[in-house]
Amino acid sequence: MPIPRIPAWQLTLAGGAAAVLVLHLVGGDHAWLIMQAAGTAILFRAARRHRCGWWLFFAASAAGTATSLWWSIRGGEPAITPMGLSLALQYTLHAAAAVQFTRRRKPGGAAEAGAVVLAVAMLAWSFVVLPYLGQPGYRLVDDALAAFYALLDLAILATVLRTAADSRRVPGILVAGAGSMLLGAHLLYAATSAEGTRPFLSGGGPHLLIQLWWVLIVAASVHPRAAQPLATDLAPGRSTLAVMYTVAVAGPLLPAVAAPSAVVVVPAVLTAALCGLLLLRIVVLARLAERRARQAREALQEQQVLQRRLAYRAGHDSLTGLANRDLLLDHLGRAVAGDRPYALILCALDGFKEINDTYGHHVGDTVLRQVAGRLLLFAPEVELVARLGGDEFGFLVTSGTDAGELADRVVTAVSAAPYAVDERRIPLTARAGLADGTPGNDAVLGDADLALRAAKQAGGARTARFDESLRAEQSERARIAAGLRQALADGTLFMHYQPVVDTGTGRATGVEALMRWRRDGELVPPGVFIPVAEQTGLIGAIGARALRLACAQAAAWHREHGLYLTVNVSTHQLRDPGFTATVLETLADTGLPAAALVLEITESVLIDAADTPVLGELRAHGIRIAIDDFGTGYSSLAYLHALPVDILKIDQSFIRRHQDPPRAQDVSLTRAILELARGQDLLAVAEGVETAGQAQLLRDLGCPLVQGYHFGRPADADTIDTLMREYAFHAPV
């Protein structure tokens, strides 16, 4: 069974009191001295740890010990005056310490204490000072010393009353007890009408009380709350009030009780009434002050609640209730400044803009709220889930969770099931990028952003982790963007053309314009610079330049050879409301008829484009639309009949499968696509035809148009021009 731990102050109190009592009975000067010295040492420790009051108690103890030492060396019974003088020091220092110890900083505190002291003065004058002066033991003590002792008694009495009335702090009670011991020693001496100084030496009653003073003071000094002796209420408590009233009212009446004559009674009653009223006034003021303080506290609390609410609003997204970007940055800043590893996951929804555009913001908002609900399920594993704006969310991971695995789970959770809004069920997928942060690395947000972009670009994987190569790619992209801006000015962007061949006649019926960019003497593939142009918004200007160059060139070919021109356009261009006007203006300027122009849109972007009215406008002007790279994107066959298109370009990956001899399942797949195109009344073009075998197969399958290295590589306008003029472009079979 565990032994309960007894607090040091209780041990000191019990042990000290027992030792004092035993010594009192047994006697022994040296033992007293050792105890006093030990007490003084403990008080020295307390004085160093706590505050000024404890230095004074230490000094009182040291003075008392020095006195005992002095009288024990001298031996015999000391004379009254020197004894009185030597004790006065300990007594004075205790009074000073107790006053300091019980001092409370509060309004009206001094007046309150003053009222008590004055009332007590009346009591003390009647019962302490007058009897002292009349005592035979004091016959030899001069009046000054007696009066000084009386004052000290008064001060000590005031501190005893004050601390005793506040019974909530043990050290205060112990100090009050110690003060009572000193007072008791004096009163006992006076009450017993003792003569000489013997009672102040070992074995005497006052001596015993003075030793108990040591025990109580030392016990108070080792109490854990020795530094805060009193509670700090503003208004006096009930017990304090009772003591104060009794003393203030009864004190002035005492002389009247002792000598009941009209000369004494009338002023005594008036003084008592005055004291009572003054005290009442003080108490009312204190209560008022306390009420004001309480009101101020309540107002402060309300303000704090309001502040907390405002801070919550400032740190949270009003739509989803998730933390917002500011709060995430705030937490991120702390993680960066900390010393633990952390990770940031950014998660973006695929195609959310289309949901907003198609169904309206009401539906978009509902979907976002539902997404937030799913993301919040991960809150216990992360420090913060935030919405950074739009369709982008962030997770700050500081708990040591495997961030890569968490990012995968987040992405899976977002796309696990469609979102039900009204009667609709809307499917959604997401991508995530994550960056590991080390303390001091404040680029982690940018890193996670790069990783997210990488995840968006890489078709397959849906989460990407940041590594240094991404930063290199980022600076390469910045270099390309700067180069493209320059290219728009210096004409290093130009067009190559690849023939589109009719399988029936073997002749070129059209040309596809493919953009080329020569940077520092080397050709940069469109697969590299077109995505950068799209990301930076440069595609608008670059696409318009390509269209103009191609139309200007193809106008002549159309006039002479009846060729049509097919030009690739980006989804970004289609979203520009002025795009139709740009195309029509270009046609008008270059003289190419609308019927001779085909605009190619990559299949994967068609879902976006399907919602835009631009395709309908263009077709209304006679321009045809082709789906490029059919079969690579995610638009299902079900969309096909709804799309405003005329031509279907089968992606090269289907054609590349046809090696010699062709496999039956590849052939049937191509045949199925061709039948689908015929069924939808679409003109089919097979891309990437590289061999005679592939060309033959496509002819056999009834594919009307073909394009590929087998018929002609993309080449500059002059080369195509020469081919058309000299051979009327008859493609090899």
- CB closer to ligand C2E out of 381 and 690: 690
Contact call for residues 566 and 685 (beta carbons, < 8 A)? no
714 contact choice in ligand C2E, Mg ion, none (CB below 5 to 8 Å, kind-dependent) = ligand C2E
* Window contacting ligand C2E (CB under 6 A); options: 222-230, 365-373, 423-431, 708-716: 708-716
Task: With CA atoms as reference, report the closest residue to 132 among 124, 688, 228.
Answer: 124
CA 589 to chain CA centroid, nearest Å: 59
- CB closer to ligand C2E out of 176 and 569: 569
Alpha carbons within 13 A on the beta-carbon side of 302: 6
* Window contacting ligand C2E (CB under 6 A); options: 239-247, 364-372, 467-475, 562-570: 562-570
Contact call for residues 348 and 388 (beta carbons, < 8 A)? no
CA 155 to chain CA centroid, nearest Å: 55
669 contact choice in ligand C2E, Mg ion, none (CB below 5 to 8 Å, kind-dependent) = none
Is 570 a residue that touches Mg ion (CB under 5 A)?
Answer: no
500 beta partners: 510
What single string gives the DSSP state of each residue in 685-723?
EE----SHHHHHHHHHHT--EE-STTT---B-HHHHHHH
- CB closer to Mg ion out of 244 and 565: 565
**Residues contacting residue 273 through CB under 8 Å, at least 6 positions apart:** none
Residue 127 DSSP label: I
Task: With CA atoms as reference, report the closest residue to 93 among 128, 54, 143, 125.
Answer: 54
Terminal Cα-to-Cα distance of the chain (whole angstroms): 102
Closest contact distance (angstroms) between CB of 507 and Mg ion is: 20
Is 670 a residue that touches ligand C2E (CB under 6 A)?
Answer: no
**Residues contacting residue 565 through CB under 8 Å, at least 6 positions apart:** 510, 511, 513, 550, 551, 554, 557, 558, 592, 596, 597, 598
Query: Each residue of 563-586: b (16+ CB within 10 Å) or e?
Result: bbbbbbbbbbbbbbeebbebbeeb
Closest contact distance (angstroms) between CB of 598 and ligand C2E is: 11
- CB closer to ligand C2E out of 356 and 652: 652
Closest contact distance (angstroms) between CB of 321 and ligand C2E is: 41
Residue window 647-686: x/- pattern of binding to Mg ion, with contact defined by CB under 5 A: ----------------------------------------
Closest contact distance (angstroms) between CB of 542 and ligand C2E is: 7
Is 608 a residue that touches ligand C2E (CB under 6 A)?
Answer: no
The size of the interface with ligand C2E (CB under 6 A), counted in residues, is 24
Is 525 a residue that touches ligand C2E (CB under 6 A)?
Answer: yes
Closest contact distance (angstroms) between CB of 639 and Mg ion is: 18
Q: Is 3 helix (H, G, I), strand (E, B) or coil?
A: coil
Residues between 460 and 499 with contacts to ligand C2E, criterion CB under 6 A: 498
- CB closer to Mg ion out of 317 and 629: 629
- CB closer to Mg ion out of 254 and 676: 676
Is 706 a residue that touches ligand C2E (CB under 6 A)?
Answer: no
- CB closer to ligand C2E out of 167 and 582: 582
What single string gives the DSSP state of each residue in 429-469?
EEEEEEEEE-TT-TTHHHHHHHHHHHHHHSSS-SEEE--HH
- Tell the residue number behind the tokens 């976006």, with chain if given: 608
In angstroms, the Cα distances linking 125 to 69, 119, 122, 134 are 33, 10, 5, 12
The residue from 112, 449, 603, 628 that contacts ligand C2E (CB under 6 A) is 628
- CB closer to ligand C2E out of 491 and 527: 527
Is 544 a residue that touches ligand C2E (CB under 6 A)?
Answer: no
Is 629 a residue that touches Mg ion (CB under 5 A)?
Answer: yes
Residues between 281 and 340 with contacts to ligand C2E, criterion CB under 6 A: none
CA 180 to chain CA centroid, nearest Å: 55
Residue window 589-628: x/- pattern of binding to Mg ion, with contact defined by CB under 5 A: -----------x---------------------------x
Is 522 a residue that touches ligand C2E (CB under 6 A)?
Answer: no
Is 514 a residue that touches ligand C2E (CB under 6 A)?
Answer: yes
* Window contacting ligand C2E (CB under 6 A); options: 265-273, 428-436, 616-624, 686-694: 686-694
Q: Is 567 helix (H, G, I), strand (E, B) or coil?
A: strand
CA angle (614, 615, 620) in 5-degree steps = 100
The residue from 343, 515, 614, 650 that contacts ligand C2E (CB under 6 A) is 515
176, 179, 180, 182: CA torsion to nearest 10: 170
- CB closer to Mg ion out of 112 and 629: 629
Is 534 a residue that touches Mg ion (CB under 5 A)?
Answer: no
The residue from 708, 720, 724, 731 that contacts ligand C2E (CB under 6 A) is 708
CA 296 to chain CA centroid, nearest Å: 29
Contact call for residues 580 and 617 (beta carbons, < 8 A)? yes
Is 510 a residue that touches ligand C2E (CB under 6 A)?
Answer: no
- In 520-650, DSSP assigns E strands to 522-524, 564-569, 597-602, 624-630, 647-650
Closest contact distance (angstroms) between CB of 516 and ligand C2E is: 8
Binding site for ligand C2E (CB under 6 A): 498, 514-515, 525-527, 530, 543, 546, 568-570, 600, 602, 628-629, 652, 687-690, 708-709, 714
Binding site for Mg ion (CB under 5 A): 568, 600, 628-629, 687
